[in-house]
Chains A and B, each alone.
Chain A
Amino acid sequence: DAGVIQSPRHEVTEMGQEVTLRCKPISGHDYLFWYRQTMMRGLELLIYFNNNVPIDDSGMPEDRFSAKMPNASFSTLKIQPSEPRDSAVYFCASSFRQEVYGYTFGSGTRLTVV
Chain B
Amino acid sequence: AQSVTQLDSQVPVFEEAPVELRCNYSSSVSVYLFWYVQYPNQGLQLLLKYLSGSTLVKGINGFEAEFNKSQTSFHLRKPSVHISDTAEYFCAVTPRGTGKLIFGQGTTLQVKP
Identify which of residues 1-50 in chain A touch chain B, using a CB-to-CB cut-off of 8 Å. 4, 31, 33, 35, 42-43, 45, 48, 50
Stretch at the interface among A63-71, A79-87, A101-109: A101-109
Q: Does B102 contact A (CB under 8 A)?
A: yes
Query: CB < 8 Å: which of A31, A43, A98, A106 contacts B90?
Result: A43
Query: CB < 8 Å: which of B32, B36, B43 contacts A99?
Result: B32
Task: Please name all residues of chain B whose beta carbon is closer than 8 Å to the beta carbon of A102 when the two chains form the complex.
Answer: 34, 36, 46, 49
* Chain A interface mostly: strand
Interface size class of A (residues with CB under 8 A): 20 to 34
Query: CB < 8 Å: which of B51, B96, B101, B104 contacts A103?
Result: B101
Task: Please name all residues of chain B whose beta carbon is closer than 8 Å to the beta carbon of A108 when the two chains form the complex.
Answer: 42-43
**A99, B106: Cβ atoms under 8 Å?**
no
Q: Does B55 contact A (CB under 8 A)?
A: no
CB distance from B45 to the nearest CB of A (A): 7
Bitwise, B81-106 to A at CB < 8 A (1) or not (0) is 00000000010001010011111111
Give complex CA distance A99, B31 in Å.
10
Q: Does B44 contact A (CB under 8 A)?
A: yes
Closest A residue to B94 by beta carbon equals A99
Task: Please name all residues of chain B whose beta carbon is closer than 8 Å to the beta carbon of A33 when the two chains form the complex.
Answer: 101
Task: Please name all residues of chain A whose beta carbon is closer than 8 Å to the beta carbon of B34 when the two chains form the complex.
Answer: 102
Give complex CA distance A91, B44 in Å.
9
Give complex CA distance A45, B98 in Å.
13
Bitwise, B23-43 to A at CB < 8 A (1) or not (0) is 000000000101010000011
**B43, A105: Cβ atoms under 8 Å?**
yes
Task: Please name all residues of chain A whose beta carbon is closer than 8 Å to the beta carbon of B99 when the two chains form the complex.
Answer: 31, 48, 50, 55, 95, 98
Task: Please name all residues of chain A whose beta carbon is closer than 8 Å to the beta carbon of B103 when the two chains form the complex.
Answer: 35, 42-43, 45
